[in-house]
Structure 1
Amino acid sequence: MDTMRSILSIPEALYPLIVMMLTLGQGIYAMPVPTDIPMCTAPETTQYSLTFTGKWTQAAFPKQYPVYRPPAQWSNLIGVTHSSDYHMWQRNEFASNGVREFAEKGEAWTLMKEVEAAGERIQSVYGILSAPAVVGGTGQMNSEFEVFARHSYLSFIVRIIPSPDWFVGMDSFDLCDGDHWKENVSMDLFPYDAGTDSGFTFSSPNFETIPQDRIIQITSSFPSHPANSFYYPRLKRLPPIAKVTLTRIKKTNQIISLPVEPTQSNLLPTGNEIEDTIINTPLDCEVSVWSPWGLCKGKCGDSGLQHRTRYVLMHPANNGAACPMLEDERKCIPDNCL
C-alpha cells in the first residue's frame, strides 16, 4: 500500500485534513523494527473495534461538576496506530505543541501535522483513527481501525471539556502478544494534566504555565490544592472517569466470541470488580474562614455579645461530612460607654 490507512468514523470537520494527510503520507508502514523490542510475529494485519465510554458523573465527581456553560462532555477522539519508536504523548514527558492545542482547545490541526511528520521522517505511523465527540459526561463513541504487525501499538487522546488542559488517553498500548493478537482489552482511564495551563478548576480561565510542566496523572491528592476540581483527600484513588474497550474483529466484520475464561493475554486489571456499579464519591462540606468579630453590643456596665460568621464554599454530597456551624458569638465588654 502506498498511503496511510484511513479509519472509519472520522468527524466531518477533520475529514478534509486527514484525506490530505493520507495523500501526502507515502510509504509510511515500511520501517526498520528496533532490535531491542520483541518483534510481533502475529499475522500481518487485523482489525479492532474501539469503544470509548464516558463515566464522568456528578455522583462520582461531585466537586465543581460542570452542569452548564459548557456542561461536562468529551471531545472527539484522535488516535494513531504506530511502531514502538513513536509516542503521541507520554506521562512525565513534555507535551508537544499539537497535544497542547488539543488538550487546551480541542484543535487537532497541529497534532495531525506532527503525526504526518513522524510518518515521513521515521516511518513510524501506520494509520489515523478518529471517533465523534460525546455530548455529556457519560455516553459512548466508537471507531474501527486496522493494525499491522510492525505497527502494533495504539495511542489516542480525548480532551475533558471543560478543563484547562486535561485529557484522558492511551499511550503506546501493544495489541500484539508474541505470535497472536490480543482478543479483548478493557482499560479504565484517569485524567491527565498536559502541563501547559495552570488552572485548577474545570472552568478556570486560560493561564499559561511558564515554564511548561511535564504531563502528569491527576489523582485524588495531587495537585494537593483544595481548589483542584479532582481533589478528594478522603479517597485513596479517583474513580475511573472513562473506559476504553478494544475488541478484535473477524475478517467477516463480526465481533469474535470471547473466551469463557479470561487469560493474561486478553485481560487487563481495571480496578473495578463489578462493571456499571454506581459510584458515589463523598464530598465534605467546605467553609470559608471566619469573618472578623463584630461590634460588642450590650448595655454599658454589663457584658455584651459580639458575633462572627463564615459561609459555605462547597455543600456536602454523597454522605460527605456535614457543614460546621456558620455563626459564632462570645461575651465582650462594650467599648466607648458613656
Structure 2
Amino acid sequence: MTMEKLIRFAALAFFSIAPMAVATAQDSADYHVTVTLNWTEAAFPVGFPEDPHFSRFIGMTHNERFTLFADGQTASTGLGLVATNGRVSILKAELGEMTRRKRIGSVVEADALKAGAGVVQMTATLTSAHNRFSFATMVAPSPDWITGASGIVLNPDGPWLESLTLPLWVWDAGVDGGQTFTSPDDPLPVKESVRLAATPYFLHPAGLLPIGTVVFVRVR
C-alpha cells in the first residue's frame, strides 16, 4: 500500500470512529450522591423519639419500567420490609429479578446512619439505558416510614445534569397501621397506598417539613 493510500485509510478510519467515541463518552455518567439528614429535636420537636436513626441505604439505577415507590402505588414486599424493620435482603432479591429483566442497571448501598442527623454518600454510574436513580432507608423507629427519592432522571433534556439538589420527605409505606414512632407492630391485612407521612411529627404550620436533602454531583 502506498503512503498516499495509507494516509487516506487512516483519515477514513478516524472519521468513522470519532463519532462513535463521542457517543460512548456521553452514554454514561458517574454521580456522587450525598444524602444529608436533619432529623433533630430542634427541627421536629413534636414527639421526637429517643433513638432516631436510619437503616441501611439501598439505591439503584434503572429505567422507566421500574418504580421503587410512588404516591398512590402499593409498596413491594421488599420495600415494605425496609420500611418496617430496615431489612434490605428481600428488596435486593426483587432488584435481582428486575436486573435480569434489564429494568435495573446497578445497585448501590451505604451503611446505616446511627443518628437522626448526618451525611451518607454513595456513587452511582448511570447510562442512557438506566438514566434514573432511586434510593430508600427506614426512618427509625417508626411503624413503616421511609425517606428517599424515586425515579430521579439525571438527563431530562438529553445531556447529563452537572448537579441536582432535591428535598427528602418522609413517606408512609402503607403496610403497618401504627401511628406513632413506637407503635407495636400492626401489619395491615391489605396494603394501603404509599403516601406522604402527613403526621404532626413532620408538620409545620407552613406544611410538611423535609427531613433532609439529596445532592447529585456529576464527577465524570
Using the size of structure 2 for normalisation, the TM-score is 0.85
Mapped partners of 1:111, 1:186: distance in 2? 26
Amino acid paired to 1:60:
A
Distance between the aligned counterparts of 1:88 and 1:191, measured in 2?
A: 14
**Equivalence for 2:135:** 156
| Matching of residue 48 in structure 1 with residue 31 in structure 2 | yes
2:76 aligned with 1:105: no
Post-superposition offset of 1:236? 2.8
Find out whether 1:89 has 2:69 as its counterpart.
Answer: yes
Count of residues paired in the alignment: 198
Relative to structure 1, the CA distance from residue 84 to residue 42 in structure 2 (aligned partners, 3 Å threshold; closer, same or farther) is: farther
Offset at residue 42 of structure 1 (A): 8.2
Amino acid paired to 1:136: A
Q: Does 1:78 align with 2:58?
A: yes
Correspondence 1:120-269 to 2 at 5 A: 120=100, 122-219=101-198, 229-230=201-202, 232=203, 235-250=205-220
The amino acid of 1:56's aligned partner reads W
- Indicate the SS of the match to 1:139: strand
Greater strand share, 1 or 2? Answer: 2
Larger radius of gyration: 1
Question: Which residue identity is paired with 1:50?
Answer: V
Larger relative CO (CA 8 A, sep 6+): 1 or 2? 2
Aligned-partner Cα distance in 1 for 2:26–2:193: 37
Q: Which runs of 5+ in 2 are unaligned?
A: 1-23
Residue aligned with 1:111, SS: helix
Aligned CA RMSD, in angstroms, stands at 1.8
Q: Which moved more, 1:188-197 or 1:173-182?
A: 173-182
CA displacement, residues 60-80 of structure 1 (integer Å, 9 cap, x when unaligned): 11111112xxx1111121011
Q: Matched residues in 1 for 2:37 and 2:163: separation?
A: 19
The answer on whether the counterparts of 2:56 and 2:88 sit within 8 Å (CA) in structure 1 is no
Write the distance in 1 (CA, Å) between the matches of 2:108 and 2:85. 19
Deviation at 1:150, TM superposition (A): 1.2
Contact kept in structure 1, 2:45 and 2:201, CA below 8 Å: no
- TM-score normalized with structure 1 length: 0.56
Match of 1:118 among 68, 92, 98: 98
1:60 corresponds to: 43
- Judge conservation of contact 1:184–1:247 (CA < 8 Å) in 2: yes
Q: Which amino acid aligns with 1:123?
A: K
Cα offsets for 1:231-262 (capped at 9, x unmatched): x4x61312211111110003xxxxxxxxxxxx
Could you tell me how far apart the structure 1 residues matched to 2:201 and 2:163 are? 33
Q: Which runs of 5+ in 1 are unaligned?
A: 1-40, 221-227, 251-338
Report % sequence identity: 28
Which amino acid in 2 is paired with 1:201?
Answer: T
- Per the alignment, in what secondary structure is the counterpart of residue 207 of structure 2? coil
